[in-house]
Structure formats: structure tokens, C-alpha cells
A and B are shown apart, each in its own frame.
Chain A
Amino acid sequence: MTSELFGNLAIFVLSLLVGFEVISKIPTTLHTPMMSGANAIHGVVFAGAIAIASVANSPVSYVLTFVAAALAAANVCGGYVVTDRMLRMFSRPKQPSIPTTPKDPS
């Protein structure tokens, strides 16, 4: 148990350091999509919802599983879709012409 905890703590601290290192190199131009993309990454908590769904055994735990799954799915799906929508506008080939009507993929 203790060695397991130590392993997890080490992973946690090293990940924080990697995070600082990688993210401090992202230019301000991309900070909004980066924040939105990082936001989507914490939607990985959906894995936590799966873990509790597999052991849920009471009405309370079923309801909370439903709540956790709904919130986490909104986080992960919405987060990635909106980030992609923003980044698609950045990676668009340079086109000299500007459409007269606002272009919106939705």
C-alpha cells in the first residue's frame, strides 16, 4: 500500500513538472484553445465514473454514478469539440479572400 502510494505521488509530482515545462512554451496566441484543451483533458475523470459504475450497488450510488457520468461526458466531449472548432480556424490555409458572411461551422 505504502509503496503504491509512493509510486502514485512520484507520478503526480513529475507530471506537474512536465506540465509546467510543456505549457510554459505555448505562445499567448494559443492560450485560449490551450486552456480549453487542458479543460477537456480533465474530462478523463470519466474513467473514474466507469470505475464506480462497475462497483455501484445501491440506489444512491446509481444516482451518483449517473451524475458523475453526465458531468464528465459533457466535460470531455464538449471540451474537445470546442477546442477543435477554435483550432480549425487557426490551421486554416492562408486565404486572401474574406467571406462576406461570418463563417461558422455549426
Chain B
Amino acid sequence: MTTFAFVIGLAYLVAATLFVLGLHQMRAPSTARRGNLTSVLGMAIAIAATLVVALVTSGGSVWGWLALVLGAALGAVYGVVRARTVKMTDIPQLVSVFNAVGGGAAAAVAFVDFVLYRSATPLSLTSSIPIVLDVLIGSVTFSGSLIAAGKLQGVIPGRPITFPGSRVVNLAVVLVAVGAAVLTVIFGHSILLLIIVLIAALVFGILMVLPIGGADAPVIVSLLNAFTGLAVAMAGFAIDNQALIIAGALVGAAGTILTLQMAKAMNRSVANVILGGFGTGDAPVTSALAQDLTGVRQLTADDIAVQLAYAQRVLIVPGFGLASAQAQHEVAELAKLLLDHHVDVKYAIHPVAGRMPGHMNVLLAEANVPYDQMLQLDEANAAFDNCDVALVVGANDVCNPMARQKGNPVSGMPILDVDHAKSIVVVKRSMSPGYAGIANPLFTDPRTGMFFADAKQGLAAILAATKDYVTA
């Protein structure tokens, strides 16, 4: 090992250490931002070291460097503009788009590597296998993540899209992709075969995500995130760059853990998510008047204001409805008003509230809610027993007590024990069921009062009524 190679290897090691440290610092909200900056430093070192190696060892042509600089400038501007302007409710789509471009970049790197080196001698297995795997995984991630982003954004219908014989077509595409991949490895120099791998993988990515319902899209985004990590690690094997291998493996692990946790919180297995179309993402809103309201106690904003103002402890349960109505500022303002009135207000947050794990926390943080007011599932469930009023806003399945019984779609799902509260207020547009498609007995409980309204308008009405009440 030359001194130069040693120094470069050391730089990659430092970069990898900084990535791990950065993720480590993300375990507490107070150090998380520093953790992200630590990761940025690691990135800068990894890229600088690679740049030095490239300049010293090969030099390259002006056109190659020009392509790199122009591409980097274009990509950086696009990325930063999107990152700075995105609405916090649209974060899951953006994460999916950034995931897609990462997978696409990994596939492109492997493809060029193949084009450049296959002519001299047929590639050895140690480079052709990672290259082919990279093209395969990277392409699936690229097209799949774009479709998932489209579903989350609503550009592509959220309902599962299937067509007759889709399973057969899927299988055929997989066979073509894998077959071409194996042949590419065996022959070691056919660009045509690699192009077939690329196209078949892109088609498979689309076919894999189309049948997945909008409600499950976050699980798939997370799974594809793990895939991108693996694709990047494979690119690292192909070009013998340890920084890529380590970073790719870390992301692969992160994506895998999140996928499993999310599937568990939604009471589904990962295989079930991929195979079964489930959840529409845009359930029709039936008018509150046209439905069966037997056993439902309806409240007015004034009734709720009185309950809240006289309560000692209030737990707010924000759900997907709050996120889609972008009512995080209204709920935070209501909480602030009550806190000033010496009511203890906290938020009970289900792991999959919002559109991805932890998404609700981000939305509340955007509305200036301190993170120590946000309770995770276990903390929240301990608090419901002493809670005077549970204010459920746009949540449904995550607080359905049916989960404690056997034999229904939510059986066994971890839920918030909202029914342990002394009194329950639900703000919801209608009685329509959530993604699981079953009725929620919580809504007809004698202690529950329903307030049929959009989360934003409903909270604004409650806020106005509470203001009148506490200041009068």
C-alpha cells in the first residue's frame, strides 16, 4: 500500500465514522441537527478524497469533467430549491423523489463503469456481479420511487392499480430482468444485455408500486430507500470505493428497520404490503347528514370549549386528517391558549400518524410545539388513564379499540388507548371508516362527542369558542 492510498483510505474511514456518529446524534431531538451537520462533514471528506484520487490517478478528459460540473450544478440547484420550498406536509413525496434520483445515479455509475471496462477484457465476476446488481436495484428504485412519489402527491391515483393478468406480467418481467442479468455476468461484455436488464428493471419498478395503495406508499418508500442503500453499496464494490460501501450499508440498514417498524405499526407484513392492494389514500367523503348516526352524540364548538376549559389534563390525538388539512398551526394555537389557561396539554402521537413515521412530529415542530409535549405511544397510553379530555383530530384506525379483539383487520395493531380517557371529543369530517375499512366503536361510545368538520375549520371554530370562554 502506497502512502497515498493509505491517506485516501484513512479519509474514507474518517468519513464513514462521521456518518455513524451523525446517525448516533440523531437519537435525541436536541443533538439531531448537529448529527445531520456531522454527516455533511463526512460527505464533504468522502467526496474530496474521491476527487483527489480521480485527479491524481487518471486525469480524464475535459469533456468528462465538464459533464460532471454541469450535472452537479444543475442537480444541486434543483435539490436545494425543492428542499427549501417544500411544504412540510409534502415531505414524504420529496424523500421519495430524492430516493429515486439516488437509485438512478447509482445505476448510471454502474452502467458507465461497464461501458468503459468491458471492451478491454471480459469483466471478472468480482466487478460484473456488483455492476449488474447495481443496475438492477438502482433502476427498480428509480422508477418505483417516482411512482410512489406520484401516488403520495396525488398525481397518480392512490387506489391500487391492477389489470387482469398483472401477476403473470410481473413474473415475466422479473424473469427477463434476472435472466438478462445472469447472461450479462456470464458473457461479461454485452451492452445490449445490460440495456435489457436496465429496461426490465425500470418496468418492474413501475409494476411493483402501481398496485400498492396510497396508504401503504410510505412503507414502500422506506423499502425502496433500503434498496437504494444496497445499490450504492454495489456501486462501491464495482468501483472499489469503501466510502460508498459503508454509506450504502448504513442506509440499507436504516431503510430495513423503518420498513419493519412501519409495517408493524400498521399491522401488516411487508410481503402483505407488496402483494396486496390495500387502502385507497383518498377515501370518498360521505356527508355527515346522509349516514347512520344512531348512538352518536354530536357536539358544538361551544360544548367542546367548555369541556376543554374545565379540564385539567388534555391529550390531543392528531391523525392523518390533521396533516392533510394542514391544521398543525390551529392545533398548536389551541394548545397554547389552554396552556396559558393552566390546562396541561400534551400530544399523543401514534408511530404512523401523518404520512410516514414521525411525520406528525415534524408538522407539530413546524407549528412551534416543543418536542417534550409530544408523547410517543407508550408514554401516551400511560397518560390516557389520568386524562380528562382526549381530543382526537382526524384520526381513526390508530385509536380503534377493536384492535384489542381478535378477527378483524386491525386486530393486534398497536393503538392509542383513547377510550381510557374520562371524556372523548372527536373532530372528523364524517363517520366514514379509515384505511382498515371498519367502523370504530369509539365514535359511538357514550363518553364520546363527535364534531363533524374538516380539521382546520373545526379547530378554528373550537379555538374561537375557547377564546371567548377563557377571556370572558
Contacts and interface: CB of A to CB of B under 8 A. Distances in A.
A72 B79 CA distance: 10
A64 B115 contact: yes
A71 B104 contact: yes
B86 A23 contact: no
Contact of B71 (A18, A23, A70): A70
B154 interface: no
Interface in B234-259: 235-237, 239-258
Contacts, number: 416
A85 to B, nearest CB: 7
B420 to A, nearest CB: 21
Contact of B329 (A8, A18, A102): A102
Given A32-B361, A38-B23, A38-B251, A74 B79 contact: yes
B318 to A, nearest CB: 13
Contacts of A63: 67
A22 B27 CA distance: 9
A36 B95 contact: yes
B59 interface: yes
Given A19-B250, A20-B257, A45 B109 contact: yes
Contacts of A48: 105-106, 109, 232, 235-236, 239, 241, 244
Contacts of A80: 36, 39-40, 43
A101 B289 CA distance: 34
B193 to A, nearest CB: 16
B247 A42 contact: yes
B78 A90 contact: no
Interface string A71-106: 111111111111111111111101111110011011
Contact of B58 (A16, A55, A60, A98): A55
A43 to B, nearest CB: 6
B67 A62 contact: yes
Nearest to B235: A48
A55 B101 CA distance: 22
Contacts of A67: 71, 104-105, 108
B19 interface: yes
B47 A44 contact: yes
Given A90-B29, A102-B366, A54 B75 contact: no
Nearest to A28: B351
Given A30-B26, A52-B109, A82 B83 contact: yes
B291 interface: no
Interface string B415-430: 0000000000000000
Nearest to B376: A28
Contacts of B472: none
Contacts of B296: none
A68 to B, nearest CB: 4
Nearest to B113: A52
Nearest to B337: A98
Given A54-B58, A68-B109, A8 B237 contact: yes
Contact of B16 (A15, A28, A92, A95): A15
Contacts of B37: 84
B166 interface: no
B371 interface: yes
B455 interface: no
B105 A49 contact: yes
B75 A69 contact: yes
A41 B250 contact: yes
A100 to B, nearest CB: 8
Interface stretch (B221-229, B273-281, B440-448): B221-229
A53 B65 contact: yes
Given A85-B83, A90-B29, A50 B76 contact: no
Contact of A62 (B64, B74, B83, B113): B64
Interface string B443-466: 000000000000000000000000
15 contacts: A4-B240, A8-B237, A16-B249, A19-B249, A26-B23, A32-B92, A32-B358, A51-B50, A51-B54, A54-B65, A55-B60, A56-B63, A67-B108, A82-B86, A91-B30
Given A8-B237, A56-B112, 4 more contacts: A36-B95, A47-B243, A69-B69, A78-B82
Interface of A: 1-2, 4-5, 8, 11-13, 15-20, 22-58, 60-92, 94-99, 102-103, 105-106
User: Lowest 5 CB-CB distances: which A-B pairs, in order?
Assistant: A19-B253, A78-B79, A69-B71, A73-B75, A31-B358
